[in-house]
Amino acid sequence: MRHGKPVIFATVGMLFGAAAVLVVSHLAAPAPQHLSSQRKKSSITADAQVPIVAGPRSFSMASPPPSSGSDTITSKATHPSPATPRIHTVKIEQGDTLMGALISAGVERQDAHSAIEALRSVYDPRSLRVGDEITVTFDEPENQHQLFQGFSLEPSPAFKVQSSRSDDGSFSSSSIKTPLNDEMVRIEGDIGTSLFAAAGEAGVPVDIIQNLINIFSYDVDFQRDIQKGDRFALLIRRKVTPRGEPVGDAVLLYAAMTLSGRTTALWRHESKDGRIDYFNSKGESVRKALLRTPINGARLTSGFGTRVHPVLGYSRMHKGVDFAAPRGTPIYAAGDGVIEIAGFKGSYGNYVRLRHNNEYATAYAHMSAIGKGIATGKRVRQGEVIGYVGTTGRSTGPHLHYEIIKKGKQVNPLGVKFPTGNVLAGAELRRFQGQRATMEKVYADLPVGMNRKLARAH
Protein backbone atom coordinates (compact mmCIF):
# COMPACT_ATOMS: atom_id res chain seq x y z
CA MET A 1 0.00 0.00 0.00
CA ARG A 2 3.07 2.21 0.43
CA HIS A 3 3.34 2.45 -3.37
CA GLY A 4 -0.45 2.84 -3.97
CA LYS A 5 -0.39 6.63 -4.05
CA PRO A 6 2.33 6.89 -6.75
CA VAL A 7 0.48 4.31 -8.84
CA ILE A 8 -2.73 6.34 -8.62
CA PHE A 9 -0.87 9.55 -9.60
CA ALA A 10 0.76 7.75 -12.50
CA THR A 11 -2.58 6.45 -13.71
CA VAL A 12 -4.21 9.91 -13.50
CA GLY A 13 -1.24 11.42 -15.30
CA MET A 14 -1.58 8.97 -18.17
CA LEU A 15 -5.29 9.76 -18.50
CA PHE A 16 -4.63 13.52 -18.67
CA GLY A 17 -1.87 12.95 -21.22
CA ALA A 18 -4.14 10.88 -23.44
CA ALA A 19 -6.87 13.51 -23.23
CA ALA A 20 -4.40 16.21 -24.20
CA VAL A 21 -3.30 14.24 -27.25
CA LEU A 22 -6.93 13.78 -28.33
CA VAL A 23 -7.67 17.52 -27.97
CA VAL A 24 -4.57 18.56 -29.91
CA SER A 25 -5.29 16.01 -32.65
CA HIS A 26 -8.88 17.22 -32.90
CA LEU A 27 -7.85 20.89 -33.16
CA ALA A 28 -5.23 20.08 -35.79
CA ALA A 29 -7.64 18.08 -37.92
CA PRO A 30 -9.13 19.83 -41.00
CA ALA A 31 -12.54 21.38 -40.46
CA PRO A 32 -15.52 19.67 -42.02
CA GLN A 33 -16.04 20.54 -45.67
CA HIS A 34 -19.13 22.69 -45.10
CA LEU A 35 -17.27 24.78 -42.53
CA SER A 36 -14.25 25.13 -44.81
CA SER A 37 -16.55 26.39 -47.53
CA GLN A 38 -18.06 28.93 -45.14
CA ARG A 39 -14.61 30.22 -44.25
CA LYS A 40 -13.64 30.61 -47.91
CA LYS A 41 -16.85 32.54 -48.65
CA SER A 42 -16.29 34.88 -45.76
CA SER A 43 -12.85 35.82 -47.06
CA ILE A 44 -14.27 37.32 -50.28
CA THR A 45 -17.24 39.15 -48.79
CA ALA A 46 -16.22 42.47 -47.35
CA ASP A 47 -18.86 42.75 -44.61
CA ALA A 48 -19.53 39.01 -43.87
CA GLN A 49 -18.90 37.84 -40.31
CA VAL A 50 -16.02 35.38 -40.06
CA PRO A 51 -16.92 32.22 -38.02
CA ILE A 52 -14.53 30.95 -35.35
CA VAL A 53 -14.28 27.14 -35.42
CA ALA A 54 -13.92 25.21 -32.08
CA GLY A 55 -14.08 21.48 -32.64
CA PRO A 56 -17.36 20.49 -34.29
CA ARG A 57 -19.08 23.74 -33.21
CA SER A 58 -18.82 27.36 -34.39
CA PHE A 59 -20.18 30.78 -33.48
CA SER A 60 -20.08 34.20 -35.10
CA MET A 61 -17.78 36.89 -33.79
CA ALA A 62 -20.84 39.09 -33.54
CA SER A 63 -22.68 36.49 -31.30
CA PRO A 64 -21.98 35.76 -27.61
CA PRO A 65 -19.89 32.63 -26.96
CA PRO A 66 -21.82 29.47 -26.01
CA SER A 67 -22.49 28.74 -22.36
CA SER A 68 -20.27 26.11 -20.77
CA GLY A 69 -23.16 23.83 -20.03
CA SER A 70 -24.77 23.69 -23.48
CA ASP A 71 -23.92 21.36 -26.33
CA THR A 72 -26.32 23.10 -28.80
CA ILE A 73 -25.20 26.36 -30.39
CA THR A 74 -27.49 28.54 -32.53
CA SER A 75 -26.06 31.31 -34.76
CA LYS A 76 -27.91 34.02 -36.62
CA ALA A 77 -27.54 33.65 -40.39
CA THR A 78 -25.64 36.49 -42.06
CA HIS A 79 -26.13 37.72 -45.65
CA PRO A 80 -23.25 38.86 -47.85
CA SER A 81 -23.18 42.58 -48.57
CA PRO A 82 -23.85 43.79 -52.13
CA ALA A 83 -20.96 43.15 -54.48
CA THR A 84 -18.32 45.89 -54.56
CA PRO A 85 -18.27 47.61 -57.99
CA ARG A 86 -15.15 47.22 -60.05
CA ILE A 87 -14.26 50.18 -62.25
CA HIS A 88 -12.05 50.25 -65.33
CA THR A 89 -10.96 53.43 -67.13
CA VAL A 90 -10.08 53.34 -70.82
CA LYS A 91 -8.40 56.31 -72.54
CA ILE A 92 -9.26 56.69 -76.21
CA GLU A 93 -6.31 56.67 -78.60
CA GLN A 94 -5.99 57.29 -82.33
CA GLY A 95 -8.09 54.77 -84.28
CA ASP A 96 -10.10 53.55 -81.27
CA THR A 97 -13.86 53.02 -81.37
CA LEU A 98 -16.32 52.95 -78.48
CA MET A 99 -17.06 49.28 -79.16
CA GLY A 100 -13.35 48.42 -79.16
CA ALA A 101 -12.75 50.37 -75.95
CA LEU A 102 -15.52 48.50 -74.09
CA ILE A 103 -14.36 45.09 -75.31
CA SER A 104 -10.78 45.88 -74.29
CA ALA A 105 -12.09 46.59 -70.77
CA GLY A 106 -13.61 43.10 -70.60
CA VAL A 107 -17.18 43.77 -71.75
CA GLU A 108 -18.82 41.02 -73.81
CA ARG A 109 -19.58 42.06 -77.37
CA GLN A 110 -23.37 41.71 -77.08
CA ASP A 111 -23.47 43.79 -73.88
CA ALA A 112 -21.22 46.42 -75.44
CA HIS A 113 -23.48 46.62 -78.51
CA SER A 114 -26.64 46.95 -76.39
CA ALA A 115 -25.13 49.65 -74.17
CA ILE A 116 -23.91 51.68 -77.16
CA GLU A 117 -27.27 51.44 -78.92
CA ALA A 118 -28.98 52.77 -75.80
CA LEU A 119 -26.50 55.67 -75.62
CA ARG A 120 -27.35 56.90 -79.14
CA SER A 121 -30.44 58.70 -77.86
CA VAL A 122 -28.24 61.19 -75.94
CA TYR A 123 -24.83 60.99 -77.67
CA ASP A 124 -23.41 60.10 -81.07
CA PRO A 125 -20.62 57.51 -80.54
CA ARG A 126 -18.92 58.82 -83.68
CA SER A 127 -18.21 62.04 -81.73
CA LEU A 128 -15.63 60.21 -79.61
CA ARG A 129 -12.29 62.02 -79.57
CA VAL A 130 -8.71 61.06 -78.85
CA GLY A 131 -8.08 61.62 -75.14
CA ASP A 132 -11.65 60.97 -74.00
CA GLU A 133 -11.89 58.64 -71.00
CA ILE A 134 -14.50 55.88 -70.73
CA THR A 135 -15.41 54.71 -67.21
CA VAL A 136 -16.62 51.08 -67.28
CA THR A 137 -18.36 49.57 -64.23
CA PHE A 138 -18.76 45.89 -63.28
CA ASP A 139 -20.46 44.16 -60.36
CA GLU A 140 -18.69 41.06 -59.03
CA PRO A 141 -21.21 38.53 -57.69
CA GLU A 142 -20.37 35.53 -55.51
CA ASN A 143 -19.50 33.28 -58.41
CA GLN A 144 -16.68 35.69 -59.38
CA HIS A 145 -18.20 36.34 -62.82
CA GLN A 146 -17.95 40.01 -63.77
CA LEU A 147 -21.36 41.49 -64.58
CA PHE A 148 -21.13 44.57 -66.80
CA GLN A 149 -23.26 47.36 -65.31
CA GLY A 150 -22.62 50.18 -67.77
CA PHE A 151 -20.24 52.97 -68.74
CA SER A 152 -20.01 56.75 -68.75
CA LEU A 153 -17.95 59.47 -70.43
CA GLU A 154 -17.69 63.27 -70.36
CA PRO A 155 -17.59 64.75 -73.89
CA SER A 156 -16.96 68.10 -72.17
CA PRO A 157 -16.51 69.30 -68.58
CA ALA A 158 -20.16 70.44 -68.62
CA PHE A 159 -21.70 67.35 -70.19
CA LYS A 160 -21.73 63.72 -69.02
CA VAL A 161 -23.50 60.75 -70.64
CA GLN A 162 -23.95 57.21 -69.38
CA SER A 163 -25.50 53.89 -70.35
CA SER A 164 -26.65 51.68 -67.47
CA ARG A 165 -27.98 48.13 -67.10
CA SER A 166 -31.56 47.92 -65.81
CA ASP A 167 -32.95 45.19 -63.51
CA ASP A 168 -34.31 43.27 -66.52
CA GLY A 169 -30.87 43.24 -68.20
CA SER A 170 -31.62 45.90 -70.81
CA PHE A 171 -29.71 49.19 -71.05
CA SER A 172 -30.94 52.76 -70.76
CA SER A 173 -29.12 56.06 -71.26
CA SER A 174 -29.07 59.40 -69.49
CA SER A 175 -27.21 62.69 -69.69
CA ILE A 176 -26.24 65.34 -67.17
CA LYS A 177 -25.61 68.96 -68.14
CA THR A 178 -23.65 70.98 -65.61
CA PRO A 179 -24.90 74.57 -65.16
CA LEU A 180 -22.31 77.11 -66.24
CA ASN A 181 -21.30 80.52 -64.91
CA ASP A 182 -20.02 83.55 -66.78
CA GLU A 183 -16.58 84.64 -65.60
CA MET A 184 -14.70 87.85 -66.41
CA VAL A 185 -10.91 87.83 -66.64
CA ARG A 186 -8.61 90.86 -66.84
CA ILE A 187 -5.18 90.27 -68.40
CA GLU A 188 -2.37 92.75 -69.06
CA GLY A 189 1.19 92.32 -70.22
CA ASP A 190 4.34 93.83 -71.68
CA ILE A 191 5.33 92.93 -75.22
CA GLY A 192 8.89 91.78 -75.87
CA THR A 193 9.56 90.87 -79.46
CA SER A 194 6.22 89.17 -80.19
CA LEU A 195 2.63 89.92 -79.17
CA PHE A 196 1.74 86.27 -79.69
CA ALA A 197 4.47 85.08 -77.30
CA ALA A 198 3.78 87.74 -74.66
CA ALA A 199 0.03 87.08 -74.63
CA GLY A 200 0.60 83.34 -74.46
CA GLU A 201 2.89 83.72 -71.45
CA ALA A 202 0.17 85.80 -69.75
CA GLY A 203 -2.32 82.95 -70.15
CA VAL A 204 -4.37 84.30 -73.05
CA PRO A 205 -6.05 81.49 -75.04
CA VAL A 206 -4.74 81.03 -78.58
CA ASP A 207 -8.10 81.84 -80.21
CA ILE A 208 -8.24 85.14 -78.30
CA ILE A 209 -4.69 86.01 -79.39
CA GLN A 210 -5.66 85.34 -82.99
CA ASN A 211 -8.74 87.54 -82.66
CA LEU A 212 -6.64 90.28 -81.06
CA ILE A 213 -4.22 90.24 -84.00
CA ASN A 214 -7.07 90.22 -86.52
CA ILE A 215 -8.89 93.27 -85.14
CA PHE A 216 -5.71 95.36 -84.87
CA SER A 217 -4.22 94.23 -88.18
CA TYR A 218 -6.13 96.94 -90.09
CA ASP A 219 -4.04 99.65 -88.41
CA VAL A 220 -1.00 97.85 -86.97
CA ASP A 221 1.88 96.32 -88.91
CA PHE A 222 2.88 93.55 -86.50
CA GLN A 223 6.28 93.21 -88.16
CA ARG A 224 7.38 96.84 -87.93
CA ASP A 225 5.15 98.64 -85.40
CA ILE A 226 5.72 96.36 -82.37
CA GLN A 227 8.61 97.42 -80.10
CA LYS A 228 9.91 96.23 -76.76
CA GLY A 229 8.04 97.98 -73.96
CA ASP A 230 4.70 98.16 -75.78
CA ARG A 231 1.72 96.84 -73.79
CA PHE A 232 -1.63 95.09 -74.21
CA ALA A 233 -4.71 94.95 -71.95
CA LEU A 234 -7.70 92.61 -72.32
CA LEU A 235 -11.09 91.86 -70.79
CA ILE A 236 -12.25 88.31 -71.54
CA ARG A 237 -15.53 86.56 -70.79
CA ARG A 238 -15.67 82.78 -70.57
CA LYS A 239 -17.98 79.99 -69.40
CA VAL A 240 -16.83 77.92 -66.42
CA THR A 241 -18.21 74.98 -64.47
CA PRO A 242 -18.87 75.27 -60.71
CA ARG A 243 -15.38 73.76 -60.29
CA GLY A 244 -13.87 76.60 -62.32
CA GLU A 245 -13.12 74.56 -65.47
CA PRO A 246 -13.34 76.66 -68.68
CA VAL A 247 -15.85 75.39 -71.24
CA GLY A 248 -15.90 76.35 -74.92
CA ASP A 249 -14.34 79.40 -76.50
CA ALA A 250 -13.73 82.61 -74.57
CA VAL A 251 -14.96 85.98 -75.87
CA LEU A 252 -12.80 89.09 -76.19
CA LEU A 253 -14.89 92.02 -74.88
CA TYR A 254 -12.26 94.78 -74.72
CA ALA A 255 -8.73 95.14 -76.05
CA ALA A 256 -6.21 97.95 -75.86
CA MET A 257 -2.69 98.21 -77.29
CA THR A 258 -0.16 100.85 -76.33
CA LEU A 259 2.41 101.23 -79.11
CA SER A 260 5.19 103.85 -78.81
CA GLY A 261 3.21 105.55 -76.03
CA ARG A 262 -0.06 105.78 -78.02
CA THR A 263 -3.03 103.70 -76.83
CA THR A 264 -5.75 102.36 -79.12
CA ALA A 265 -8.77 100.75 -77.46
CA LEU A 266 -11.53 98.64 -79.04
CA TRP A 267 -14.83 97.27 -77.68
CA ARG A 268 -16.91 94.33 -78.88
CA HIS A 269 -20.47 95.10 -80.00
CA GLU A 270 -23.23 92.88 -81.35
CA SER A 271 -25.86 94.70 -83.37
CA LYS A 272 -29.56 93.83 -83.26
CA ASP A 273 -29.23 91.88 -86.50
CA GLY A 274 -26.57 89.65 -84.90
CA ARG A 275 -23.47 91.09 -86.59
CA ILE A 276 -20.42 91.23 -84.28
CA ASP A 277 -17.68 93.79 -84.73
CA TYR A 278 -15.17 95.87 -82.76
CA PHE A 279 -15.47 99.65 -82.49
CA ASN A 280 -13.44 102.55 -81.13
CA SER A 281 -14.84 104.97 -78.55
CA LYS A 282 -16.58 106.99 -81.30
CA GLY A 283 -18.48 103.96 -82.59
CA GLU A 284 -16.35 103.57 -85.71
CA SER A 285 -15.73 100.01 -86.85
CA VAL A 286 -12.14 98.79 -86.75
CA ARG A 287 -12.70 96.91 -89.98
CA LYS A 288 -11.66 98.58 -93.18
CA ALA A 289 -12.80 97.68 -96.66
CA LEU A 290 -9.55 95.76 -97.28
CA LEU A 291 -6.87 94.00 -95.26
CA ARG A 292 -3.40 95.47 -95.65
CA THR A 293 -1.79 92.06 -95.07
CA PRO A 294 -4.05 89.07 -95.94
CA ILE A 295 -1.80 86.54 -94.23
CA ASN A 296 -0.78 85.90 -90.61
CA GLY A 297 2.78 85.64 -89.33
CA ALA A 298 4.40 86.44 -92.66
CA ARG A 299 7.56 88.45 -93.25
CA LEU A 300 7.65 91.29 -95.80
CA THR A 301 10.44 90.42 -98.23
CA SER A 302 9.84 92.72 -101.17
CA GLY A 303 8.06 96.07 -101.34
CA PHE A 304 6.21 97.91 -104.06
CA GLY A 305 8.24 99.64 -106.82
CA THR A 306 11.25 99.11 -109.07
CA ARG A 307 13.55 96.25 -108.06
CA VAL A 308 16.04 93.75 -109.49
CA HIS A 309 13.96 90.68 -110.25
CA PRO A 310 15.37 87.66 -108.34
CA VAL A 311 14.83 85.28 -111.27
CA LEU A 312 15.21 87.46 -114.39
CA GLY A 313 18.18 89.39 -112.95
CA TYR A 314 17.28 92.87 -114.25
CA SER A 315 15.31 95.80 -112.88
CA ARG A 316 11.58 95.91 -113.40
CA MET A 317 8.50 97.29 -111.71
CA HIS A 318 7.24 95.17 -108.82
CA LYS A 319 3.51 95.87 -108.78
CA GLY A 320 2.74 94.37 -105.38
CA VAL A 321 4.36 93.27 -102.13
CA ASP A 322 5.77 89.85 -101.23
CA PHE A 323 5.25 88.09 -97.89
CA ALA A 324 7.44 85.08 -97.12
CA ALA A 325 5.74 82.32 -95.13
CA PRO A 326 5.92 78.53 -94.82
CA ARG A 327 4.36 76.52 -97.63
CA GLY A 328 0.68 75.86 -96.86
CA THR A 329 0.09 78.98 -94.74
CA PRO A 330 -3.55 80.13 -95.28
CA ILE A 331 -4.18 83.22 -97.42
CA TYR A 332 -7.33 85.24 -96.63
CA ALA A 333 -9.65 87.32 -98.78
CA ALA A 334 -8.71 90.95 -98.15
CA GLY A 335 -12.35 92.00 -98.29
CA ASP A 336 -15.85 90.98 -99.31
CA GLY A 337 -16.09 90.38 -103.03
CA VAL A 338 -16.61 88.14 -106.05
CA ILE A 339 -13.97 85.86 -107.59
CA GLU A 340 -12.99 87.15 -111.07
CA ILE A 341 -10.16 84.67 -111.76
CA ALA A 342 -9.17 81.42 -110.02
CA GLY A 343 -6.60 79.20 -111.72
CA PHE A 344 -3.08 78.97 -113.13
CA LYS A 345 -1.84 82.22 -114.71
CA GLY A 346 1.62 81.98 -116.29
CA SER A 347 4.44 83.46 -114.19
CA TYR A 348 1.95 84.15 -111.37
CA GLY A 349 1.38 80.43 -110.86
CA ASN A 350 -1.82 79.58 -109.00
CA TYR A 351 -3.64 82.90 -108.97
CA VAL A 352 -6.85 84.41 -107.57
CA ARG A 353 -8.29 87.87 -108.26
CA LEU A 354 -11.19 89.35 -106.27
CA ARG A 355 -13.46 92.22 -107.34
CA HIS A 356 -14.55 94.12 -104.19
CA ASN A 357 -16.45 97.05 -105.69
CA ASN A 358 -16.30 99.37 -108.68
CA GLU A 359 -13.02 100.85 -107.41
CA TYR A 360 -10.96 98.08 -105.80
CA ALA A 361 -9.75 94.58 -106.67
CA THR A 362 -7.02 92.41 -105.09
CA ALA A 363 -4.79 89.67 -106.52
CA TYR A 364 -2.91 86.74 -104.91
CA ALA A 365 -0.17 84.77 -106.68
CA HIS A 366 2.26 81.81 -106.42
CA MET A 367 -0.13 79.81 -104.24
CA SER A 368 0.56 76.11 -103.66
CA ALA A 369 -3.18 75.46 -103.96
CA ILE A 370 -6.37 77.44 -104.41
CA GLY A 371 -8.85 77.16 -101.55
CA LYS A 372 -11.61 74.56 -101.59
CA GLY A 373 -14.70 75.83 -103.38
CA ILE A 374 -12.94 78.95 -104.68
CA ALA A 375 -14.05 79.40 -108.30
CA THR A 376 -14.92 82.17 -110.74
CA GLY A 377 -18.17 83.88 -109.79
CA LYS A 378 -18.22 82.79 -106.16
CA ARG A 379 -18.89 85.45 -103.52
CA VAL A 380 -16.51 85.43 -100.52
CA ARG A 381 -16.33 87.28 -97.20
CA GLN A 382 -13.39 89.15 -95.74
CA GLY A 383 -11.10 86.73 -93.89
CA GLU A 384 -12.26 83.63 -95.78
CA VAL A 385 -9.43 81.29 -96.86
CA ILE A 386 -8.94 81.53 -100.62
CA GLY A 387 -5.61 79.69 -100.99
CA TYR A 388 -2.30 78.62 -99.46
CA VAL A 389 1.25 79.92 -99.69
CA GLY A 390 3.42 78.19 -102.28
CA THR A 391 6.04 78.79 -104.95
CA THR A 392 4.25 78.08 -108.24
CA GLY A 393 5.00 80.11 -111.38
CA ARG A 394 8.14 82.27 -111.56
CA SER A 395 9.24 82.11 -107.92
CA THR A 396 12.36 81.38 -105.88
CA GLY A 397 10.65 80.20 -102.68
CA PRO A 398 7.35 80.00 -100.79
CA HIS A 399 5.72 83.42 -100.57
CA LEU A 400 2.56 85.38 -101.33
CA HIS A 401 2.64 88.06 -104.02
CA TYR A 402 -0.18 90.47 -103.10
CA GLU A 403 -1.60 93.28 -105.23
CA ILE A 404 -4.20 95.96 -104.63
CA ILE A 405 -5.73 97.25 -107.86
CA LYS A 406 -7.45 100.63 -107.76
CA LYS A 407 -9.45 101.61 -110.84
CA GLY A 408 -7.51 99.11 -112.93
CA LYS A 409 -4.04 100.12 -111.74
CA GLN A 410 -1.82 98.47 -109.10
CA VAL A 411 -1.11 100.65 -106.05
CA ASN A 412 1.12 100.19 -103.01
CA PRO A 413 -0.80 97.99 -100.49
CA LEU A 414 1.21 99.46 -97.60
CA GLY A 415 0.49 103.07 -98.54
CA VAL A 416 -3.13 103.12 -99.69
CA LYS A 417 -5.67 104.74 -97.33
CA PHE A 418 -8.66 102.47 -96.93
CA PRO A 419 -12.17 103.78 -96.35
CA THR A 420 -13.63 103.27 -92.86
CA GLY A 421 -16.12 100.48 -92.34
CA ASN A 422 -19.40 100.63 -90.44
CA VAL A 423 -20.10 103.67 -88.22
CA LEU A 424 -22.74 103.40 -85.47
CA ALA A 425 -25.36 106.11 -85.18
CA GLY A 426 -28.59 106.94 -83.33
CA ALA A 427 -30.06 104.32 -81.00
CA GLU A 428 -27.41 101.73 -81.95
CA LEU A 429 -24.63 104.15 -80.98
CA ARG A 430 -26.31 104.89 -77.63
CA ARG A 431 -26.68 101.17 -76.95
CA PHE A 432 -22.97 100.64 -77.73
CA GLN A 433 -21.92 103.50 -75.46
CA GLY A 434 -23.96 102.00 -72.59
CA GLN A 435 -22.33 98.59 -73.06
CA ARG A 436 -18.90 100.20 -73.29
CA ALA A 437 -19.41 102.01 -69.97
CA THR A 438 -20.38 98.70 -68.31
CA MET A 439 -17.28 96.93 -69.67
CA GLU A 440 -15.02 99.76 -68.55
CA LYS A 441 -16.40 99.55 -64.99
CA VAL A 442 -15.98 95.76 -64.84
CA TYR A 443 -12.43 96.09 -66.13
CA ALA A 444 -11.52 98.83 -63.64
CA ASP A 445 -12.93 96.85 -60.68
CA LEU A 446 -11.01 93.68 -61.51
CA PRO A 447 -7.42 93.30 -60.28
CA VAL A 448 -5.04 92.12 -63.00
CA GLY A 449 -5.11 88.36 -63.37
CA MET A 450 -8.18 87.96 -61.14
CA ASN A 451 -11.53 86.51 -62.18
CA ARG A 452 -15.06 87.55 -61.36
CA LYS A 453 -17.90 85.05 -61.52
CA LEU A 454 -21.16 86.46 -62.74
CA ALA A 455 -24.70 85.11 -62.61
CA ARG A 456 -25.30 81.56 -63.84
CA ALA A 457 -25.51 81.56 -67.60
CA HIS A 458 -27.12 78.24 -68.57
pLDDT tens across 120-176, in order? 999 999 999 999 999 999 987 655 667 899 999 999 888 899 999 999 999 999 999
Highest mean pLDDT among 7-11, 140-144, 217-221, 259-263: 259-263
Per DSSP, 286 falls in state S
The whole-number pLDDT of residue 61 equals 33
Decide if 363 contacts 333 (C-beta within 8 A): no
Query: Span 428-457, mean pLDDT?
Result: 79
Lowest mean pLDDT, pick from 197-201, 218-222, 244-248, 315-319: 315-319
Helix (H, G, I), strand (E, B) or coil at 71: coil
Q: Name the residue ranges covered by the structural domains of the chain.
A: 86-177, 181-288, 299-417
- How do residues 20-76 score in pLDDT, each as one tens digit? 444 334 444 444 443 333 333 333 333 333 333 333 333 233 334 444 443 333 333
pLDDT at 131: 92
Does 217 score more than 70 pLDDT? yes
Percent of the chain whose pLDDT exceeds 90: 48
Model confidence at 370, in pLDDT bands (50, 70, 90)?
A: very high
Q: What is the pLDDT of residue 31?
A: 44
**Residues with Cβ < 8 Å from 143, sequence gap 6 or more?**
none
Closest CA to 386 of 396, 398, 397, 376: 376
More confident residue, 385 or 414: 385
> pLDDT tens digits, residue range 409-434?
988 887 777 767 788 999 999 999 99
What pLDDT, on a 0 to 100 scale, did the predictor assign at position 228?
85
Give yes or no for residue 231 having a pLDDT over 60: yes
CATH topology of domain 86-177: Nuclear Transport Factor 2; Chain: A, (3.10.450)
CATH class of 299-417: mainly beta
| Highest mean pLDDT of the ranges 60-64, 210-214, 372-376, 415-419 | 372-376
Residue 447's pLDDT band (cuts 50, 70, 90): confident
- What is 224-260 written as a DSSP string? TT--TT-EEEEEEEEEE-TT--EEEEEEEEEEEEEET
Alpha-carbon 348 to chain mean position: 41
Q: What is the pLDDT of residue 316?
A: 52
Three-state DSSP state, 79: coil
Question: Could you please report the per-residue DSSP string of 156-211?
Answer: ETTEEEEEEE-TTS-EEEEEEEPP-EEEEEEEEEE-SS-HHHHHHHTT--HHHHHH
Rounded to 5°, angle at Cα 379 from 357 and 333? 75
What is the dotted CATH code of the domain comprising 181-288?
Answer: 3.10.450.350
CA distances from 246 to 138, 157, 239 (A): 32, 8, 6
pLDDT at 371 over 90: yes
Q: Rg of the chain over CA atoms, in angstroms?
A: 40
Identical topology for domains 86-177 and 181-288: yes
Q: Say if residue 186's pLDDT is above 60.
A: yes
Selection from 162, 166, 208, 156 nearest residue 185 by Cα: 208
When pLDDT is cut at 50, 70 and 90, the band that residue 194 belongs to is confident
CB 177 within 8 A of CB 158: yes
Helix (H) or strand (E) holding 216: helix 206-216
**pLDDT computed for residue 291 by the predictor:** 82
pLDDT for position 77: 35
Query: What pLDDT does residue 120 have?
Result: 95
Query: Percent of the chain having pLDDT more than 70?
Result: 73
> pLDDT band for position 317 (50/70/90)?
low
Residue 43 pLDDT: 32
| 108-125 pLDDT tens trace | 999 999 999 999 999 999
Kindly provide the b/e burial profile for residues 173-205, where b requires at least 16 CB atoms within 10 angstroms of the residue's own CB: beeeeeebbbbbbbbebebeeebbebbeebebb
The pLDDT of residue 392: 95
> pLDDT value at position 1?
42
**Across all residues in the chain, what is the average pLDDT?**
78
Return d(Cα 111, Cα 107) in angstroms, integer: 7
Contact 411, 361 (CB under 8 A): no
